[in-house]
Amino acid sequence: MIAFLQNLIDAVSLGSIYALTALGIGLLFGILRLINFAHGDYITIGAYALIVPSADVTARLMIGELPLVVMTPLICLIVVVVALLSDVLVFRPLRRASSPTLMIASFAVSYIIQNGVMMFYGARPKAVDLWSGANTQILIGDLRVPMLQLIILVVTLVLMAALTLFLRKTPYGIQMRAAAEDFRMATYLGVRGNLVIGLAFAISGILAAAVSLLYTTQSGSLSHTMGLPLALFAFVAVVVGGMGSLVGAVVGGFAIGIIVTMLQAYLPPELRAFRDAFAFAFVILVLLVRPAGLVPSRTTFERV
Q: Which positions lie near other proteins, rule CB under 8 A?
A: 171, 174-175, 177-178, 181-182, 184-193, 299-304
- Smallest CA-to-CA distance from 214 within 237, 195, 230, 193 is with 230
Q: Whole-number minimum distance, CB 184 to other proteins, in Å?
A: 6
Q: Whole-number minimum distance, CB 166 to other proteins, in Å?
A: 14
Residue 113 or 180: which CB sits closer to other proteins?
180
Residues found in the chain: 304
10 Å CB burial of residue 247 (0-12, 13-18, 19+) is: middle
Q: Whole-number minimum distance, CB 150 to other proteins, in Å?
A: 33
Q: Are residues 20 and 210 in contact, defined by beta-carbon separation less than 8 angstroms? A: yes
Residue 1 or 96: which CB sits closer to other proteins?
96
Q: Whole-number minimum distance, CB 10 to other proteins, in Å?
A: 35
Element spanning 282, H or E: helix 275-289
Q: Are residues 159 and 167 in contact, defined by beta-carbon separation less than 8 angstroms? A: no
Residue 32 or 214: which CB sits closer to other proteins?
32
Q: Are residues 31 and 180 in contact, defined by beta-carbon separation less than 8 angstroms? A: yes
Residue 141 or 171: which CB sits closer to other proteins?
171
- Residues 46 and 76: their CA atoms lie apart, in Å, by 7
Q: Whole-number minimum distance, CB 171 to other proteins, in Å?
A: 5
| DSSP structure string for 58-82 | BPPBSGGGS-HHHHHHHHHHHHHHH
Tell me the one-letter amino acid at 127.
Answer: A
Residue 176 or 209: which CB sits closer to other proteins?
176
Q: Whole-number minimum distance, CB 173 to other proteins, in Å?
A: 10
Residue 1 or 303: which CB sits closer to other proteins?
303
